[in-house]
């Protein structure tokens, strides 16, 4: 079982930046991919970005492309989400998610991901 703990959320003004961290632990942490999702008040949880571990390729939702970047530190079992040019509509609880194996399910759905963190709140003021 993989445990994930997010940190780094907070309150930031529009146009500002934040870096979220996701610390992974567990007997065997060997992801196929790691992703970030977010859930705004009154909305469903939505895909933000994913990094595939075998080649480092990424997939990013259009609304954050060019502003958000996912990265990983394999030695530390950490995944990061660098967010810049933040907008009020980026306000949400951000979750990291673990994908242990290849899945035919679409990556922007929750189905491929088997472990989730508890989330960290990001609030962007206008």
Per-residue pLDDT of the chain (126 residues; tens, 9 = 90+): 899 999 999 999 999 999 999 999 987 788 999 999 999 999 999 999 999 999 999 999 999 999 999 999 999 999 999 999 999 999 999 999 999 999 999 999 999 999 999 999 999 999
Q: How far from 26 is each of 4, 10, 61, 98, CA to CA, in Å?
A: 9, 27, 29, 12
Residue-level pLDDT at 29: 85
Q: Residue 55's pLDDT is what?
A: 93
Report how far residue 99's alpha carbon sits from residue 51's, in angstroms, rounded to the nearest whole number. Answer: 10
What local confidence, expressed as pLDDT, does residue 27 receive? 76
The reported pLDDT for the residue numbered 18 is 98
Closest CA to 121 of 97, 95, 98, 82: 95
Q: What is the model's pLDDT at position 99?
A: 96
Q: Which two tokens stand for residue 20?
A: 């979220």
How much is the pLDDT for 28? 77
Which residue, among 24, 12, 32, has the nearest Cα to 88 in the 3D structure?
Answer: 12
First to last CA, the chain: 40
């Amino acid at each position: 079982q993989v445990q994930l703990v997010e940190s780094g959320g907070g309150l930031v003004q529009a146009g500002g930046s934040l870096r979220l961290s996701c610390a992974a632990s567990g007997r065997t942490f060997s992801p196929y991919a790691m992703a970030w999702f977010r859930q705004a008040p009154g909305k469903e949880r939505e895909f933000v970005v994913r990094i595939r571990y075998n080649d480092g390729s990424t997939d990013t939702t259009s609304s954050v492309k060019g502003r958000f970047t996912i990265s990983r530190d394999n030695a530390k079992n950490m995944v990061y989400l660098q967010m810049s040019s933040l907008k009020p509509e980026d306000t949400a609880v951000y979750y990291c998610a673990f994908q242990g194996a290849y899945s035919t399910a679409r990556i922007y759905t929750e189905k491929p991901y088997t472990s989730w963190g508890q989330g960290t709140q990001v609030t962007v003021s206008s």
